[in-house]
Amino acid sequence: MRPDDLLSIGALAERAGVATSALRFYESRGLIESTRTDGNQRRYRRATLRRVAVILAGQRLGLSLDEIEQALRSLPGGRTPTARDWAVLSAAWRQRLEDEIAQLERLRDELDECIGCGCVSLESCGIFNPGDAVGSRGPGARYLHGEPREPLAGN
């Protein structure tokens, strides 16, 4: 490997658009790896830029670092992702993104109505959740998570 194929942590951070602390953290999690110089300075293969790009793409999708780590571990030999690898990884993440888009669209469509309808089981909501009946269906934002507004007992 030629010396110009290796990047210092500062050079990698600048090229990738992330802080050096983020790179150290990714390395501590095993998401990227470096070698050390005789002076104990980190050096990264230039191909690490692609791995960092995959990490950043996963984070923008809302994936946890555990999920990203699992995806990167699925690569043969822990190598840097190729275009084909990216196609496989992104296909696996596509359904999650579709689900998030659907949830955001439901939220957008609900904004004109009482935003609290069933999502926080407001006892005072006499329009869509009289008597806090939706609370018996379980915790969380029942309507915003896609649960249908079925007639409640007593309506």
pLDDT in tens, 3-46: 568 999 999 999 999 999 999 999 999 999 999 989 999 999 99
pLDDT tens figures, 78-122: 677 788 888 888 888 888 888 888 888 877 776 665 554 544 545
Secondary-structure percent of the chain, ordered helix, strand, coil, rounded to 5: 50, 5, 40
Would you state the torsion angle of the CA atoms of residues 127, 132, 135, 141, taken in this order, to the nearest 10 degrees?
40
Q: Output the pTM of the full model.
A: 0.63
Fold of 3-93: Multidrug-efflux Transporter Regulator; Chain: A; Domain 2 (1.10.1660)
Tell me phi and psi for residue 7, to 5 degrees: -115, 140
What region does 17 belong to: left with phi over 0, alpha with psi -120 to 50, or beta?
A: left
